Amino acid sequence: MHITHPNKQVSLSRNTFDAFNDWLRANSYSKVFFLVDENTHEYCLIRLLSDLPDLADYEVLEIEAGEESKCHEVLINLYHALAELGADRKSLLVNVGGGVVSDLGGFLAATFKRGIDFINFPTSLLAMVDASVGGKTGINLGVLKNEVGAFAAAKHTYINPVFLETLPKEQLRSGFAEMLKHALIADAEYVRQLSEKLPNALAISDQELERSVEIKSEIVQADFKEGGVRKKLNFGHSIGHALEALHMQMGEPILHGEAVAQGMLVELYLSHKKAGLTKESFLQVRNIICSVFGISPMGFEQKAILEMLGHDKKNEAGRFKFCLLNAIGSAEVDIDITEQEVVDALENYNTYN
């Protein structure tokens, strides 16, 4: 698969290394910098470098794995590292990692000397189907998710399913949450396909990867800066981001997809109550999510969740704005939701336990 639009290119193949080699040959970068974490350094970068015999002048920047690295302290260290290692405007940054690496690295590249080229090699399922596609880059501000960032498209995103082989199961599950979301907001038939695989949802085929990347890319192409239709991709994320932030505040971060799965369950109820999702569809989707992710208590007071929700980037003038499903495979954006409606949905979630 190869998707091209004016701002970005995404390709999915089991042989991305040659394509990257060609890219490097075609572009005369002054220097290549790889951003990795300790895991992707060991499991992914070594492999990538072994396929780049011509690459002589490069540097490796390593961060600690985990969401905590998406912060100003790490970002500032990386700016200094680039400056000290002689990066110039014609340098290339290659992000080899999951969502943390591509979010942080994308923002680093977008803002170092007012912007240098960057390329993504997503190594987690989540990054392949979501984070590394679409040009949303950024870091957290304290516990506020992606509060600081930029829309900046990678010159290329090379998706190679070979990296999935080294992933632990919980990482696959986290990425699956976004795949399910893509299906739910855009493609009822794809929802059916995914649900038919249960309980082996996590055996991800290349075709499924491709379909998710297609959905994401189509939406992003239509609305790069999230003025409208792109907000659909936020289904499950209003509540999901609030939960992630609260977990970070507790010093017990959870995986993005786990938070999104809980968020989708809450927002499913809102979809049923406020956006016309039928009871039958509500129950059907709820069952899919629960069978993959289980049900765990939220562990936070409603007040704390509501307060965190107040920082959601989709809010306008103090009003909560949600993206909800009106049917399986179809979403609606900018739906006004009151505090009381959120409370009702959270209480409904609590009855599942």
Q: Euclidean distance between the first and final Cα of the chain, in Å?
A: 42
Specify whether the CB–CB gap between 94 and 173 falls below 8 A. Answer: no
Whether residue 200 lies in the annotated active site: no
The bridge status of strand 320-327 relative to strand 330-337 is: antiparallel
- The two structure tokens encoding residue 248: 């970070």
**21 is a contact residue toward a second copy (CB under 8 A):** no
C-alpha 159/C-alpha 126 separation (Å) is 11
- Annotated catalytic residue 160: no
| 149 counts as binding a second copy under rule CB under 8 A | yes
Of 2, 25, 114, 169, the active-site residue reads 114
Confirm if 122 and 102 have CB atoms less than 8 A apart: yes
Told to judge if 64 belongs to the known catalytic residues of this protein, a careful annotator would answer no
| Contact status: 310 vs a second copy (CB under 8 A) | yes
Residue 148 touches a second copy, criterion: CB under 8 A: yes
251 in contact with a second copy (CB under 8 A): no
Q: Is 226 an annotated catalytic residue?
A: yes
Report which of 155, 219, 128, 216 is spatially closest to residue 7, judged by C-alpha positions. Answer: 155
**The one segment of 123-131, 147-155, 257-265, 333-341 that binds a second copy by CB under 8 A:** 147-155
Catalytic residue, candidates 226, 258, 267, 332:
226
Q: Find the part of the chain contacting a second copy (CB under 8 A) among 40-48, 107-115, 164-172, 196-204.
A: 107-115
Q: 146 catalytic, yes or no? A: no
> What tokens were used for 55?
């690459």
196 classed as catalytic: no
Task: Please report how close the Cβ of residue 76 comes to a second copy at its closest, in angstroms.
Answer: 6
Q: Is 7 in the site for a second copy (CB under 8 A)?
A: no
Q: Which of 216, 231, 232, 247 is catalytic?
A: 216
Q: Which is nearer to a second copy, 90 or 303 (CB)?
A: 90
CA–CA distances in Å: residue 41 to residues 46, 48, 57, 96, 327:
7, 10, 17, 8, 42
Asked if 216 is an active-site residue, the reply is yes
Give the shortest CB-233-to-a second copy separation in angstroms: 13
Which residues have C-beta within 8 Å of that of residue 169, sequence separation ≥ 6?
A: 202
Contact indicator for 342, 263 with CB cutoff of 8 Å: no
Question: Which of the stretches 58-66, 138-146, 279-287, 337-345 binds a second copy when contact is defined by CB under 8 A?
Answer: 138-146
Is 58 an interacting residue with respect to a second copy (CB under 8 A)? no
Would you tell me the crossing angle of helices 169-186 and 188-196 to the nearest 10 degrees? 150
Q: Does the annotation mark 272 as catalytic?
A: no
- Per this entry, what is the length of the chain? 353
Q: How far apart, in whole angstroms, are the C-alpha atoms of residue 324 and residue 234?
A: 9
Question: Where in the sequence numbering do the catalytic residues fall?
Answer: 114, 136, 178, 216, 226, 230, 234, 237, 241, 256
**Residues in touch with a second copy (CB under 8 A):** 30-31, 72, 76, 79-80, 83, 86, 88-90, 107, 110-115, 136, 138, 141-142, 144, 146-151, 225-226, 310-311, 313-318
